[in-house]
Chains A and B, each alone.
Chain A
Amino acid sequence: MSGFDRNDQIVDSLRILGIGQHVDDGDGIDWADADVGDTIHLSALVANPGGLSTVTVTWLACLPIPGQTQPCTDPNYLRDPTAVIPMANDPTSGVYLLGQGTDVDYTVPDTDDVQALLKSLLTRADMFANAQCALYTQIPLLIVAQDSANGAVFAAVKNIRLSPWKEIQQANDAAYMYYVRNANPALGALNLDPPVLTQCDGQPLYPGDTFPDGPQTICLVVGQAQSYYTCTLDGPDLANPVPEQPAVIWYTTGGALSSFAAPTDGSGSSLASRTFTVFTRPTGPFTIYGIVRDGRDGEAWIAQDFQ
């Protein structure tokens, strides 16, 4: 096979690199799951070579309507994502305008429809094997970034996670009581030249530090989140709970990124292959982006500038 453009990690045009959902219960944990009545703080990591002053970010949500496709995810509508924006004016379309800007807040409405949507998860849990690992539903968001300076448009879809976690916490039903409410990954510093593969504890790079020349191995410290396990598996065949395996996707505005060559003997290769990379800086200023996703709709990122 030939012809692939491997330049997907170089940010040289308007891009959305990450979408985060954050629920603050006042307990100091950055939750990713939301229940009815929760206010979700939605944030977008937007990169644009010309700056963000001319960029407008529009947030749309598509609620399911039986028998209809959802414009936020229907390829026929996504040929021109900007055309979905005015559909928010039509209440029958299922499209809702959440706001504009890189950050918006959205409160999950405490309506009968949403209550029914989440409660149905609990009532149907007995029908699924390992339901406690998937006791959530997703609402698609369409995020459209438009640069008025050059007409550039970039669109992203984010499925935000809703779970009936409030009721689960009070439940005593084995079919779903072991669901672990998801929290966003916790991030530490950007580290340079990690000496071992089993952890990212090299030389921290802070804002204002100088990034050395030549190929450098870097990694991102990912702490053990509150939701380290996806669920507590119960029963004779489900004895070993599966932990989250957060992974980092790296981007930069200059220089070169290449995959970290993990050893083939398996020693520490899992963590290293998910969080390490090799980066060669450019001659001028640049920004490194590291986006961590936990595989359960939780994510976090760093965006660090270097001179």
Chain B
Amino acid sequence: MGLLPAALVVCLLQAQAVGGGPDGGVSGSDAAAPAAPADAGVPAVKPPELTHFVPAVYPPDAEAAGVAGSVTFSIVIDENGKVGAIKVLDPGPHPKFAAAAEAAVKQFQFSPAIINGKPTAVEVEYRYEFVLRKAPPPPVPTEKPVSLIGRVVERGTRAPVIAASIDANGPTAETDADGRFTLRGLPIGPVKIHIVSSAHHPLAIDEVIEANKVKEVEYRMNRRRYNQFEAVVRGQRERKEVAVHEVTAEEIATVPGTQGDVLKVLQDFPGVARAPFGLGLLIVRGSAPQDTKVYLDGVEIPLIFHFGALTAVVNTDVISGLDFYPGNFAANWGNAMGGTVDVRTRDPKHEWHGAGHVDLYDGAAMVEGPVGNGSFFASVRRSWVDEVLRAVVPSGLTVAPVFYDYQLKYVHSLWGGQGQIFAYGSSDQLDILDQNTAQKISFNSEVQFHRLAARWQRGFAGNWRNDAIFSLGYTETSNEVVNAVKLDGTLLTASLRDTMTWHPSDKFTLEMGTDSSLRYLTYDIDLPKLTAAQASSAFGTGGLNGNPSQNTQASTSWAQPGFFATASWVPTPRLRIQPGLRFDASTDIERGHSWWFDPRLSLFFTAGPKTVLKGGVGLYSQAPQPQDLIPSLFGNPGLTFQRSFQYSVGVDQKLPYQSDIEVTLYDKYMWDLETPTTDPDQITKDPLYISNKGKGRSYGLELLLRRQLMKGFYGWIAYTLSKTTRLDDPSEVPMGQPNPWHLYDFDQTHILTVIASYQTEHNWTFGTRLRYVSGDPYTPYVNGIFNANNGSYVCIPGDVNTARAPAFFQADVRIDRRFVYDKWIFDGYLDVQNVTNRANPEALFPNYNCNGYATLTGIPIFPTIGLRAEF
């Protein structure tokens, strides 16, 4: 929406004009024709609602010819609910329909769209329906008796069908906001009832009217397409970032290769490198996976995928969408050098609903409904991969991953605003089990987190608004090799994220707040302490050469205060300037800088009605991970912030057919990067393992050509052309030898993803995803040294990442079928990954004497069947 310095919201509203009698009069729907309710309940963004309807004049020649149909517009509704620019998208079946409908639509009045609690200008699609019917009966002096009362609901979802036209071969009625209607004066005996709604298939029912009786009915209409995009508010809110990719759950729930998991689609965006084996690592613009932060409703969570990326840690049923910032994000986000992912859950519905699904890996159930004046949802998932493995592996050892997650949310009006309480949690446990005894042996790894949070949003006088989130967190990690190594840690956090927004005029907005936390870490570690020589030896160390396993139990607490301010200034209608300032500090940094101010700036220039130019520049800082600061064992207490300077420029261009293209050029310099070192501590001579002497750079081009979900079809093409390099700690090369820059481990020159999906009116969905990615760099072996103690060879690496693995290509297909019953819906899908059964190399292993390589390939053709039901 090039001209609008505001959110772009696309939804489809519906209204009808009903053909009048022979005089050509038109009876429009006096009732407001509000936005169809969201398929997924109350949407995260509240769409505009029609509050004043003006009927269109039915073109006489069209009526005479018996022509009916609809006109589809794109209209702008400003912050006051008034209709602005109108564009005809579909003129309908008669040449005079568009003009007649446009004249009426210009007089409409809406309630404004509410985004993040404030009125916002939006662009919507609006369909005006011209429906022929016989002239209404002549007015009668007295109101006729009620013959038929009822309610029209949608099959499956049980949502009310609003503004449907009821025609009983004479008497007519319209459904209200709850789908209810009343018909009077029907003749005694058989009556044919016709029901028309623009989003549903027409319905015709035979009824028998008895004398002196009021018949009560409920009619169920079939939606033209379930998983309906018409009912989904989606699009982009006002952007603070040069590049932000926003998607809704409905839009991507059927992306092939994701098994219906919304968050897996993150890996299909530009700027995200492909992780080997589909591990779900977020490698964004050349940054390490841990450099990208993930938030769930504004609360940071430590991981986004369960073990092996089988599924995300949040049930798709409760997700409304996500924002993904690959870089140059606004000052509202910080302490991250890579990207930021903000996952949003939806608000619970006020009616009782539920859903459940099962597939090969896990099962999940969700229920929601009203509690008092508020509403809640509760969702839980548990894996059964371990049970499947036990069943199919007859003997020996096997790996048994077990995971679960849960989400609870309660929403209620509170102190003039909205209050929310939510609790999220996840647990992953990986054991190596002895199948014969079912005893845990050898290895155990577990990570779990729990978050309890309260949120309060409210607007205040003077155009102020506050959004506060306070959360308590518990994160536990445990890794143990029995009788050898133990790494246990527990992190308690108390976080506050509070954003105060001041919006005194359309030309200026100021957001400022805090993003701070208090943290308390306890750890219990058994780990042998090696000398520098032992740490670098590839030939093993035997006997008492090393120090004994050292048990370290300690705790530490620290604060990470963060503050931000972001302004949005529109000096001219075509230019928006967005400066920001971020402050991040970490009190556990003992040496070097323990705080930084990071200035950031973004510019948006509307070069044309469909073209926006944009640019961003800024500094970014990231505190060390707490475990990296643990001295003597594997950390370096002298670590400080990693830093980067990022800038990017790009263009957004609207295209025909609801498509747009976004091109971004980015460049990112990184310094003070954490990198392995063999340098010892100058005082204790203990190895430091990690230093801040690394540097890096990543630059490239990102392209996203996207067709919005419309008429059952959507898709996108994402392409990234990039190069990422690193400079290691000088101790990593022999003294006197050069320390050149080298390719980063996940440098992938070309990343191309094509996604397409089409849904028929018979609730079949067909989709495909194609991916081509350059192979990862690897370090070739230049020699093999015979280890005479055991008869094997030790491979000697050459220059870092000077070879590249073969390219990756995979095609996935998916077929969904939705069965709609009166009160529930059943889904089944077949998701086939790697349908061409291509042997993609995922890892290279050296030959016995390191003079050749063997290839470990990724998944072969892999079909998955899933079932889902909702009521």
Contact = CB atoms under 8 A, between A and B. Distances in A.
Interface of A: 1-6, 8, 15-16, 18-19, 64-70, 73-81, 121, 124-125, 127-129, 131, 134-138, 140, 143, 154-159, 161, 163, 249, 291, 293, 297, 299
Given A3-B855, A77-B734, A128-B548, 5 more contacts: A4-B845, A5-B852, A75-B536, A138-B542, A157-B789
A143 B788 contact: yes
Given A8-B849, A125-B544, A159 B789 contact: yes
Interface string B720-753: 0000000000000110010000000000000000
Given A136-B542, A137-B544, A143-B788, A79 B531 contact: no
A5 B847 contact: yes
A73 B798 CA distance: 15
A19 B533 CA distance: 23
A154 B849 CA distance: 11
B789 A134 contact: no
A64 B537 CA distance: 12
A74 B857 CA distance: 31
Interface of B is mostly: loop
A157 B847 contact: no
A49 to B, nearest CB: 16
Contacts of A1: 845, 854-857
A281 B156 CA distance: 74
A14 B247 CA distance: 61
Interface of B: 531-533, 536-545, 547-548, 678, 680, 685, 733-734, 737, 782-783, 785-791, 794, 796-798, 845, 847-849, 851-857
A127 B548 contact: yes
Nearest to A21: B788
Contact of A5 (B541, B848, B856): B848
A152 B737 CA distance: 25
Contacts of A125: 544
A3 B538 CA distance: 24
Contact of B786 (A73, A154, A297): A154
22 contacts: A1-B854, A2-B854, A4-B848, A16-B786, A18-B791, A64-B531, A67-B685, A69-B678, A74-B734, A76-B733, A77-B734, A78-B796, A127-B547, A134-B543, A135-B543, A137-B545, A143-B788, A157-B539, A157-B789, A158-B788, A161-B543, A163-B543
Q: Which 9 pairs across A and B sit closest by C-beta, in order of nearness?
A: A8-B848, A19-B788, A156-B786, A3-B854, A158-B788, A136-B543, A76-B734, A4-B854, A127-B548
Contacts of B783: 78-81, 155
Given A68-B533, A70-B537, A156-B788, A128 B544 contact: yes
A168 B786 CA distance: 32
A128 B536 CA distance: 23
A233 B718 CA distance: 63
A16 B734 contact: no
A24 to B, nearest CB: 20
Among A78, A155, A293, residue most surrounded by chain B Cβ atoms (within 10 Å): A78
B789 A297 contact: yes
B734 A70 contact: no
Contacts of B532: 67-69
Among A64, A125, A156, A157, residue most surrounded by chain B Cβ atoms (within 10 Å): A157
B790 A66 contact: no
Contacts of B533: 64-65, 68-70, 73
A291 B854 CA distance: 26
Contacts of A65: 533
Contacts of B794: 75, 78, 157
Given A70-B537, A127-B548, A138-B542, A3 B852 contact: yes
A84 to B, nearest CB: 11
A15 B791 CA distance: 12
B536 A69 contact: yes
A78 B847 CA distance: 18
Contacts of A19: 788
A249 to B, nearest CB: 5
Contact of A156 (B785, B852, B853, B857): B785
A249 B791 contact: yes
Contacts of B789: 157-159, 293, 297
Nearest to B682: A67
Contacts of A8: 848-849
A6 B851 CA distance: 12
Nearest to B790: A293
A13 B537 CA distance: 27
B787 A131 contact: no
A5 B847 CA distance: 6
B543 A74 contact: no
Contacts of A136: 542-544
Nearest to A143: B788
Given A1-B857, A70-B533, A138-B543, A155 B786 contact: yes
A159 B595 CA distance: 48
Contacts of B782: 79
B602 to A, nearest CB: 45
Nearest to A134: B543
A90 to B, nearest CB: 12
A157 B785 contact: yes
A5 B850 CA distance: 10
A78 to B, nearest CB: 5
